[in-house]
Amino acid sequence: SILAIFRDISERKQAEDEKTILKTQFIKAQKLEAIGTLAGGIAHDFNNLLMSIQGNASLMLDDLDSSDPNVTSLINIENAVQSGAKLTQQLLGYARKGKYVVSPICLNHIIKETAGVFSRTRKEISIQCQLDEELSLIDADEGQMEQIVLNLFVNASDAMRGGGDLILSTHNVTDEDMRGRLYNPNAGNYVKLTVADTGIGMDQDTQERIFDPFFTTKEMGRGTGLGLASVYGIIKSHGGYIDVDSEEGQGTTFSIFLPVSDKERHKKNKSTKHIIKGSGTILLVDDEEQVLEVGSKLIERIGYKVFVAESGSEAIDVYNENKAKIDLVILDMIMPQMGGGETYDKMKMIDSKVKVLLSSGYSIDGEAAEIIKRGCNSFIQKPFSMKDLSVKIDEVLAN
Ligand code: ADP
Ligand code: MG
């Protein structure tokens, strides 16, 4: 006699599969969390250090005659500070943190500007732009969009050592046009950006790993492996999608989709090359002594009188006593005990029309954006130069 027992295990199989997927997602989330914490810590301390270096270099540059032989060295110091700040920005981008100032922007504008700067450094690459003049606006952080575009350009350029074509195009599309890709896009209108190069391309294995942090095929010193990881993080935090299409020896095309904004465009001051001098009184609040010291010197040099406060509570006291005199408060966001957010709220209770420029090297999950939503006037990222600062102050005071 034969006894046969059948058991349908498809449900169990399915549950197991789901478990593995959840597990990988969990590990990924943990990795992201760890990098986020790391990036946050570095960004906060490191950017304060850079702030001091940058500020002192700015002050010295301002003192020197342009013919002074030290001017070049100081400019080199400023450039090195900017590179250092970019590294922390990459990490923050990957960790999806530090999305500060979101406004309706046109991607074409950023592409043109970045391509312009870029083409000057790589003459053997010919850049072709096919930009849709009617392109919709997107809600995005301008600095982060620049970072994305620049990262893609640098990679394309690395893939075309001997020269080649870089083709940039933008279009208005909808989720319908995005069918058949790996993800399931939310319904709605999108702006599509493609960055195509005629470089060395990638094999399948490489393509699968390009968005991993620290994955690089470049030799030591050339690649950090953070470029595309940060691109990915930034696009995700903007509710967008990214795709890559490549073949070895055939070049590479990146497609990026970002959701269209439903807001009106607001006007932006064009960036200036010069320090904008002004007059008035500013209260500078920061818990780092170094930042206070160099910051107050910078502010005085731009033409303003300055009060300083080392903590949120001290800032409230100073503001209470001098509110008639103080035209603007520059407020550090992360401080022990009373942070920037709380200090801002308290100042608003003293004077609802208080003007506040928020400053930080890092924001915890868009905390800066939160404070800005509550009415805070603007945000400046540390480390900033004398020029950056003067432009920001002027912008806030003019409003
Ligand atoms: P990095 O540029 O520092 O190596 P990225 O995250 O920017 O780090 O890129 C990761 C890897 O992806 C690169 O090392 C390279 O192998 C591959 N890659 C990225 N963009 C391109 C491209 N346009 N063409 C060919 N390979 C690319
Ligand atoms: Mg790169």
For ligand 1, pick from 216, 246, 247 the residue to mutate: most ligand atoms within 8 Å of CB.
Answer: 216
The pLDDT of residue 318 is 97
* Nearest ligand, CA 224: 1
| CA gap 156, 153 in Å, rounded | 5
- With both helix axes pointing from N to C terminus, report the angle between 142-159 and 70-94 in degrees, rounded to the nearest 10: 100
Q: Is 164 in the pocket of ligand 1 (CB under 6 A)?
A: no
Beginning with the edge strand found earlier in the chain, give each strand of the sheet holding 164-174 in spatial order: 125-130, 164-174, 189-197, 251-259, 241-247
The pLDDT of residue 24 is 78
The pLDDT of residue 146 is 87
Rounded to a whole number of angstroms, the distance between the first and last alpha carbons of the chain is 93
**Measured CA distances, 158 to 55, 163, 200, 309, 358 (Å):** 33, 9, 9, 47, 37
Nearest residue (by CA) to ligand 1, atom 13, is 216
The pLDDT of residue 280 is 95
Helix (H, G, I), strand (E, B) or coil at 305: strand
H or E element at residue 13 = helix 10-63
DSSP 128-176: EEE--TTPPPEEEEHHHHHHHHHHHHHHHHHH-TT-EEEEEEEEEEEGG
| Spatial CA neighbour of 148 closest among 82, 263, 58, 237 | 237
Long-range pairs for 8-16: beta carbons < 8 A, 24 or more residues apart: none
The pLDDT of residue 268 is 46
For the chain, which ranges sit under pLDDT 70?
32, 95-100, 263-273, 363-366
Which atom of ligand 1 lies closest to the CA of 254? 23
Nearest residue (by CA) to ligand 1, atom 16, is 217
CA of 188 to the centre of ligand 2 (A): 30
The pLDDT of residue 291 is 93
| CA gap 364, 71 in Å, rounded | 37
Quote the tokens at residue 12.
């169990």
| CA gap 261, 317 in Å, rounded | 41
Chain-centre distance for alpha carbon 330: 20
DSSP 169-223: EEEEEEGGGGTTSSS-PPSSEEEEEEEEE-S----HHHHHHTTSTT---SPTTT-
CA of 151 to the centre of ligand 1 (A): 9
191, β-bridge pairs: 172, 258
| Spatial CA neighbour of 145 closest among 104, 117, 183, 95 | 104
H or E element at residue 117 = helix 107-121
| CA gap 251, 159 in Å, rounded | 8
| Spatial CA neighbour of 199 closest among 143, 147, 152, 161 | 161
| CA gap 128, 26 in Å, rounded | 42
Q: Is 130 in the pocket of ligand 1 (CB under 6 A)?
A: no
| Spatial CA neighbour of 330 closest among 358, 290, 298 | 358
Nearest residue (by CA) to ligand 1, atom 18, is 155
pTM (two decimals): 0.68
pLDDT tens digits, residue range 281-333? 999 999 999 999 999 999 999 999 999 999 999 999 999 999 999 999 999 99
CA of 359 to the centre of ligand 2 (A): 28
Which atom of ligand 1 lies closest to the CA of 222? 3
**Measured CA distances, 245 to 64, 200, 225, 235, 358 (Å):** 51, 13, 19, 17, 41
In the chain, beta strands by DSSP E:
102-105, 125-130, 138-141, 164-174, 189-197, 241-247, 251-259, 281-285, 305-309, 328-332, 356-360, 378-381
Contact between residue 291 and residue 382 where contact means Cβ atoms under 8 Å apart: yes
Residue carrying the six token digits 């990036």: 39
The pLDDT of residue 99 is 56
**Measured CA distances, 327 to 322, 324, 353 (Å):** 10, 8, 10
Q: Residue 127 burial by CB count (10 A; 0-12/13-18/19+): exposed, middle or buried?
A: middle
Which atom of ligand 1 lies closest to the CA of 195? 23
Q: Is 227 in the pocket of ligand 1 (CB under 6 A)?
A: yes
